[in-house]
Amino acid sequence: MARSLLLIGTSGTGKTVYGGQLLGRLQLGLGAMSLRTEPDTIEPLFDAWQSLARGRTPPRTARGTYKELVLPVSAPGLGPVDLVWPDYSGEQISDVVVRRHIPDAWRERVVGADGLLVFVRPKLVKQPIDIITRPLPEIRSAHREAEEPPPAEVVEGASTAWASQADLVELLQILLYLRSESGVRRIANLPLSLAISCWDELPGSLGASSPREVLRTMMPLLDEYVHATWEDGSASVIGVSAQGRSLLPHGVDEAFADEGPENQGFVVQPAGQRTPDLTWPVVDLLARAK
């Protein structure tokens, strides 16, 4: 039977890299999930896999692109599934929140989804520093001196990227609205996996924490929203590092290519155990979507 995963992530969250690695694992038979038969086409993700095999970061999916790949897969305990895997540019997700309207095609995907896999890359989420976390006596003078603000201070680590916790909560609220979920009851029929992507980028001790602890520490509003909105067991937080490490920003990362992308990357399961099986998030989500 066909199952559709709604893969949600803004631009740069690693959807395409993960998709390329997932295809690589399936092609080489390295994971709990395997191909039953050869897919008619693997093109949307083949380029990404090939880029990684060459030691290059896959190019971002072009704006406006939306392609679907049907992967005939099976996994222990799951049975045969035709997995519909989307490949698209993340701007389409940003547009939903910013422009406040949802194209019919996206609405149909949301309504037809069996599970929700959301990629959140902490590095791209604004970690605002405010006067609760960083109180300042200067605010007094800033207030008194009216129009002319004091010279700006550059805050290390502050990002001007699109996403904030509030944007991500808003996005999930919009998706649930499209599925006619009023919010009165907690969600049980649309399992959610919230994947902290590019896990290898996490600073210091956070990388040794469980994914839920990372979410709670870095995005507490999103964490509370998800767990107050989905039924216990219907939402899980995982970590994904599709490449295992960053590639050299320019040119070819020969060491990565020599080792092979299939030998790199890992998933952090909800309780904190690591597995190199990059098919695990999909198997877990599909199992919960039964």
Partner 1 sequence: MERQCTQDGCDAPLASCNAGFSPMRACPHWVRARGDHSDQKDSDAADAHLVPWPWGGLGRRDIDAIASRSAPHLIGVVGLPNEGKTTLLSMAYLHLSMGGSLSPDRFAGSLSLGGWEQLAQPLRWEPSSPPRFPPRTPRAAGRFPSMLHLGLRGPADTLRDVLLTDAPGEWFARWSTDRNAAAAEGARWIVSAADAFVLVLDSEALSGPDRHDARTQHAAMIRRLGAEAAGRPVVAAWAKAEREIPASIRSGLETLLAGMFPERFVESVSVYEQEMRTRYLPLLTRAFSAPRQRAGVPAEPVTAADDPFLAFRGR
- List of residues contacting partner 1 (CB under 8 A): 96-97, 99-104, 107, 128-140, 142-143, 149-150, 152-155, 158, 160, 164-166, 169-170, 173-174, 177-178, 182-186, 216, 220-221, 224-225, 227-229
| Residue with Cβ nearer partner 1 (225 or 256) | 225
| Residue with Cβ nearer partner 1 (37 or 65) | 65
**What's the CA gap between 106 and 178, in Å, rounded?**
10
| Residue with Cβ nearer partner 1 (129 or 252) | 129
Which amino acid makes up residue 20? Answer: G
Nearest residue to 262 (alpha-carbon basis) of 247, 248, 243, 238: 243
Q: Is 94 exposed, middle or buried (0-12, 13-18, 19+ CB in 10 A)?
A: middle
Q: How far is the CB of 237 from partner 1 (least distance, A)?
A: 15
Q: How far is the CB of 93 from partner 1 (least distance, A)?
A: 13
With tokens 């704006």, the residue in question is 63
Nearest residue to 280 (alpha-carbon basis) of 221, 63, 271: 271
Q: How far is the CB of 205 from partner 1 (least distance, A)?
A: 17
**What's the CA gap between 286 and 261, in Å, rounded?**
24
| Residue with Cβ nearer partner 1 (139 or 208) | 139
Q: How far is the CB of 44 from partner 1 (least distance, A)?
A: 23
| Residue with Cβ nearer partner 1 (142 or 252) | 142
**What's the CA gap between 133 and 150, in Å, rounded?**
20
Q: How far is the CB of 97 from partner 1 (least distance, A)?
A: 8
Q: How far is the CB of 4 from partner 1 (least distance, A)?
A: 19
| Residue with Cβ nearer partner 1 (74 or 159) | 159
| Residue with Cβ nearer partner 1 (65 or 246) | 65
CA angle 264, 93, 212 (to 5 degrees): 50
- Residue 105: both structure tokens together: 């095609």
**What's the CA gap between 37 and 207, in Å, rounded?**
37
Q: How far is the CB of 227 from partner 1 (least distance, A)?
A: 7
Q: How many CB atoms lie within 10 A of CB 178?
A: 17
Within its chain, how far is the Cα of 171 from the centroid?
Answer: 13
Nearest residue to 162 (alpha-carbon basis) of 213, 123, 132: 123
